[in-house]
Amino acid sequence: MANLTINVREILGSDGAGLLNHECRTVSKARLYTPGPDFVGQVFSQTDRNVSTLRNFQTLLDHGRLAGTGFVSILPVDQGVEHSGGASFAPNPEYFDPEAIVKLALEGGCNAVASTFGVLGAVARKYAHKIPFLVKFNHNEMLSYPNTFSQTTYGTVRQCFEMGAVAVGATIYFGSPESREQITYVAEMFAEAHAYGLVTVLWCYTRNDHFKVGKTDYHSSADLTGQANHLGATIQADIIKQKLPTNNGGYKALNTGSSSYGKFREEVYTKLSGSDAEGKGGHPIDLCRYQVINNFMGRVPLINSGGESKGESDLQDAVRTAVINKRAGGMGLISGRKAFQRPMAEGVRMLNAIQDVYLDQSITVA
C-alpha cells in the first residue's frame, strides 16, 4: 500500500461502517467500466478520439500522487470569475497570484490544475510542462445585475492548445433557459478540442429556480444530475464533473399536482438508485452509482466536486465524498475551495487526504 497521510476509517468516524461495508444492490459493479491503470487502453481507446487525445488522457492519469492508478485528483480554481475574486480569495489572498494556484496543485500532488485563460496563461511558460493544464473556456460572472445562469466564452480552443494544455473544460447549466444555446456551442468547441487532441471535461450542473420545490432543493438530486450527466456524455465529454447527490426524486417532485416535467419511471428510484417509489431515501453510494451509470456505465468517468469550505468539517466532508465517489465507480475528486481557502501547507494536506482514499487499496467499488 502507498504511504498514506491519514487513516480513512478514523476520519469517517461513525459514518465509516455504513460507507465502507456497503454493497450496492442496484446496478452491479460487474457491469461498470471502472478506473484502473489501463483505463485509456481498455476503455477510452475504443472511442473515436484521435491518438493525441488518447495520449493527453494518459498524461493526465500519469501525473501526481495518483499516477498509474487510473484515478485523478484535480485542483480547480476558477472561482475568481465564478464567485468573484474578493469573495474567493479573502480567506487567503496569496491565491490572487496565479503562480500560487499552480504551486498548490504541484505540491499537493494533483494530476492537473484547472483554471481560467488568465490564470494559466500568466504562468504557462513556467509550468505547462510541469503539470497538466486544464483550461476552462467558459464561465459565469457575478458582476452583471441581476445575476444570471449564462456561461460566456472567454477565449478559444486554439488558445488552450497553444498554451500547452492537455485538456479543456466547460460548464453547462442544464435546465436553465440558456441551456440549449450552451449545449450547442460547448458541443462544437469540444469537437474542435478533440481535433487538437485535447481531453474534454464538462461541469454538468443543473440550474433552474423551479428545481426548488417547497423547502427541498433538487439541484443535486440523483435523477436530475444523472440526466445532466447523460446529456454531457452525449456531447462527447471525456470526463464529467458533477456534484455529489444529496437527495433523489427531482422528477417526481416536479410532476406533482397539475405540473408536468420531463420523463421518468419509478424504476429510476426503486431499481436503479435504491430509493422508494417517491424517490425518497437511498444510500449515498447507490445515488452516486446512478450518476455513474448515466455516464455510459462509466465509459465516461465521473469526478465529483469537493464543494464549498465549511471550516472544521472540511476534512471529513472531503474524505466522505471521495469514498462515495470511489465506491460508486467514479474516477476521482475535483476539489478547490477546501484546499485554497486555507494556508498552503494545510491545503496540501487536504489534497493528500483526498488522494489517500484512492490510494487505499482496501477501499473498493461497492
Tens of pLDDT, residues 42-100: 999 999 999 999 999 999 999 999 999 999 999 999 887 888 888 888 888 999 999 99
Q: Give CA–CA dist 36/365, Å, rounded.
A: 12
**Cα gap 307→301, rounded to integer Å:** 19
Q: Is residue 109 a contact partner of residue 354, using CB atoms and an 8 Å limit?
A: no
146: cis peptide before it, omega within 30°? yes
Q: How confident is the model at residue 344 (pLDDT cuts 50, 70, 90)?
A: very high
Cell, residue 24: 450496492
**CA nearest to 26, candidates 352, 206, 284, 342:** 284
pLDDT of residue 278: 94
Mean pLDDT, residues 305-312 taken together: 86
> Does residue 297 contact residue 31 with C-beta atoms inside 8 Å?
yes
Task: Compute the average pLDDT of residues 269-291.
Answer: 97
Taken in order of first residue, the domains within the chain and their CATH numbers are: 8-359 (3.20.20.70)
Q: Contact at 8 Å (CB) between 305 and 242? A: yes
What is the 3 state secondary structure string of 272-299? CCCCCCCCCCCCHHHHHHHHHHHCHHHC
Instruction: For the chain, give the number of residues.
Output: 366
* The predicted structure's pLDDT at residue 1: 57
Amino acid identity, position 54 = L
Check pLDDT > 80 for residue 2.
no
Pairing of strands 216-217, 212-213: antiparallel
Active-site entry in 241, 243, 252, 338: 241
Residue 241 catalytic?
yes
Cell of 19: 460507507
Contact 223, 294 (CB under 8 A): no
DSSP letter at 82 equals I
Residue type for 79, please? Answer: Q
pTM of the model: 0.97
Q: How confident is the model at residue 148 (pLDDT cuts 50, 70, 90)?
A: confident
Sign of the torsion angle spanned by Cα atoms 115, 336, 359, 325? negative
